[in-house]
Amino acid sequence: MKKVLVFFVSGMLFLSFTYKPKNKVLIFSLTKGYHHACIADGITAIKLIGEKDNFTVDTTTNPALFTDENLKQYKALIFLSPTGNSLFNADQQKAFMNYIHKGGGFVGIHAATDCLYDWDWYGKLVGAYFLKHPKIQQATLNVIDHNHPSTKQLPDTWQHTDEWYNFKQVSPDIHVLIKIDESTYTGGEMNGNHPIAWYHKFEGGRIFYTELGHTKDDYTTDTLFIQHLTGGINYALHR
């Protein structure tokens, strides 16, 4: 009996040391400015991606969850169209920075560039800030780098309808994946050099941003967008 118990206990110890938890992400979608109606659709879509690609999803609009202790359970943070300034106090900002410095992943979707204008560090992390946009319309996207999980399955050119941001304070350190052809729509103001999706390594973390994701259709019917977003999340998860 004693031998059996020893074997059982040692086996349980072995399992406890070899078990690896699933990847986990936190979606943050607090809005103090414009609230995108598609946020709920985005959360649903990301949860479905997680079921397929083996990561679990928590969601919040509460910046109080940005503590060292809480953030350490997540492999990536997903900013799903948050808007407004002063979303975090000094302690929460420090926890966010610590998370990135320890190798955490970050995914910014659409209005992730339309927030925290009052925090220069965040602007450098996300890669640019929103300036203005014209009306929603179709345009041609040019995929200029297919060597990334977010673009490897995309065509060279992509006809897509969305809300096209013009940007300011574009970081020189981002690696651009997709550009928009300003001659194919009305309202582009970046002199033909208009990034739409990019990635970079920033202070220890992996950062991915896509400007797409304004419309409900992006999350519910657009398979190319879902492939694009899936690849971006997996990049942030170090896959």
Instruction: Say if 7 falls within a structural domain.
Output: no
Helix (H) or strand (E) holding 80: strand 76-80
Instruction: Say if 212 falls within a structural domain.
Output: yes
> 190-199 pLDDT, tens per residue?
999 999 999 9
Predicted local distance difference test score (pLDDT) of residue 239 = 86
- How far is Cα 116 from Cα 130, in angstroms, rounded to an integer? 11
Which residues lie closer than 8 Å to 44 by C-beta, 6 or more apart? 219
Instruction: Say if 148 falls within a structural domain.
Output: yes
Instruction: Say if 17 falls within a structural domain.
Output: no
**What is the C-alpha end-to-end distance of the chain, expressed in Å?**
45
Residue type, 208: F
Provide the mean pLDDT of the chain. Answer: 92
DSSP letter at 149 equals T
Which of 16-20, 27-31, 154-158, 228-232 shows the lowest per-residue confidence on average (mean pLDDT)?
A: 16-20
Which of 14-18, 35-39, 179-183, 185-189 shows the lowest per-residue confidence on average (mean pLDDT)?
A: 14-18
Instruction: Say if 134 falls within a structural domain.
Output: yes
Query: What domain count does the chain have?
Result: 1
Instruction: Say if 200 falls within a structural domain.
Output: yes
* Domain of 114, in residue numbers: 25-236
Q: Domain containing 206 — which CATH number?
A: 3.40.50.880
- Report the 10 Å Cβ neighbour count for 226: 18
Share of the chain above pLDDT 90, in %: 90
Query: Which pTM does this prediction carry?
Result: 0.91
